[in-house]
Structure 1
C-alpha cells in the first residue's frame, strides 16, 4: 500500500483493490474489451483545448486521432457555447470509449437551448458563418447521435471505425 498522506481520499482507498499486473495485462490484451475514460471539464472555452488534446492521446495509436480530437473540440465547444454548461459554474463530461474496431466520442452537456442536430440546413437558407460543425462531424463519423432533452442535458456522440 502506498504511503501517500491521506487528503480526504481514505474512503477511495478502501474501494479500490491493489493493482495486480497479471490482471492488468490480461485486460489490456483482450481484443473485444472496451476501454472507457471520462473526465468532467469546467464549461469554459479555455478547457476545450484540453479535451481535444486528451482525445488525441486516447487514440494516438490510430490514424484517426486528429479527426477524433477535432470532433471532440467541436462537441465540447458546442456544449460551452449553446448550453448551460457554458454558464458560470457550468461543466460538461467527456466520455471516450473504444474497442479494437470502434471509438465512441461523447460530450454530455447540462441542457438549455435547443436540441443538437446533425441534419443539414433546409435548402434556400442563406449561408451562415457558424452551424457547420455537427454536419462536418456526421461526414467524418460512421454514426452520430443525440440523446436527452434541453431540460436535463444532452449526450452528443460520434462513432469512428478504427479498423484493426
Structure 2
C-alpha cells in the first residue's frame, strides 16, 4: 500500500522494477504500475486527502506475472480509449492503451463504490526470448 500522493508513484515503480530484476521486463513492469497508479490518483478517491492505492505482484516460476493496482473507487469505470485519428491532437488519456500494448492481458474488477483493481498478465519468457533473438540477429 502507498499513500495517495503523486510522489508515491515513483516509489511503487521502483519497487516493481526491483522485484522484476533479471526478468527482462523490469522497465515494462515499472511502466505498467506507474501508469495504473497515476490513473488511480487522478481519477479515484485514492488521490484525495487520506487516500491510498495498493500494488499486488505475483511472480510465478512459470507462466505470466500478475500486476494489479487497487484504487478506492469513486469515479467511473476505467476505460481503454481507442486511438484517435492522427490529426486529432490530445494530451493524456492513453495510459491504459500503453499498458494494453505491453501486457498479454488487461482487465479490471470492482466498482466505483468499492474500488477497482486494474490488472495485467505480463509474459516474462516470451519477451525475454524476443530480446535475445533481436540481440543475436
The TM-score normalised by the length of structure 2 is: 0.85
Work out which of the two has the higher radius of gyration on C-alpha atoms and give 1 or 2.
Answer: 1
RMSD: 1.8
**Structure 2: distance between partners of 1:162 and 1:75:** 19
Cα deviations by residue, 1:10-51 (Å, 9 ceiling, x for unpaired): xxxxxxxxxxxxxxxxxxxxxxxxxxxxxx100000110000
**Structure 1: distance between partners of 2:22 and 2:83:** 35
Q: Structure 1 unaligned segments of length 5 or more: list them.
A: 1-39
Q: Structure 2 unaligned segments of length 5 or more: list them.
A: 127-137
Match of 2:52 among 91, 95, 99: 91
SS in 1 for 2:125: coil
Query: Relative contact order: is structure 1 or structure 2 higher (C-alpha 8 Å, sep ≥ 6)?
Result: 2
Q: Is 1:109–2:71 an aligned residue pair?
A: yes
Q: Do the aligned residues in 1 keep the contact of 2:81 with 2:93 (CA within 8 Å)? A: no
Match of 1:134 among 78, 82, 96: 96
**Structure 1: distance between partners of 2:81 and 2:38:** 18
Aligned residues: 125
Considering fraction of residues, name the structure with more helix. Answer: 2
Aligned equivalent of 1:28: none
Which runs of at least 4 in structure 1 moved beyond 3 Å after TM superposition? Answer: 121-127
